Amino acid sequence: MKFEVPESEVEWSAIRAQGAGGQNVNKVSSAVHLRFDIRASSLPDAVKERLLALADSRITQEGVLVIKAQTSRSQEMNRAEAMQRLNELVASVATPPRKRRPTKPTYASKLRRLESKVQRGQVKAARGKVSVA
């Protein structure tokens, strides 16, 4: 399933970009902050839960995802990049993780394990005191 986040659910704010850039960086607010409230969004509940469960520093305690885009010199390109990153993040949690099916070790792997244990025990048994007779 592919979920596209509507732009109406996203809050934008233009800020000045960091780093080198000459006069342009001091005058123009070309970087953007995208704020997306996960709990108030129209995403399915399962997707919201998986998004909130992510160990991502961009998600606040209140459940707001903040993405900062500042690679481009134009605000429109930065907005597009931030929106793309948001959609990629949502797509990464859209499909539920596969359930793990427990499997049993094979007979041969059990035998290999036991054989290695016997071998290790023999090595340790050979470490005893040497008796001179």
Domain borders along the chain are 7-94
Predicted pLDDT at 25: 66
0.85 exceeded by pTM:
no
**Whether residue 28 has pLDDT greater than 80:** no
Q: 7-94 has which fold?
A: Double Stranded RNA Binding Domain (3.30.160)
Q: In this structure, which long-range contacts are made by residues 99-102, counting pairs with CB atoms below 8 Å and at least 24 apart in sequence?
A: none
Please choose, from the candidates 88, 1, 100, the residue with its C-alpha nearest in 3D space to the C-alpha of residue 46: 1
Tokens of 20: 């080198």
- Residue-wise pLDDT tens digits, 48-85: 898 888 888 888 888 888 999 988 888 899 999 999 99
- Residue-wise pLDDT tens digits, 35-53: 998 888 888 888 889 888 8
- The DSSP call for residue 66 is E
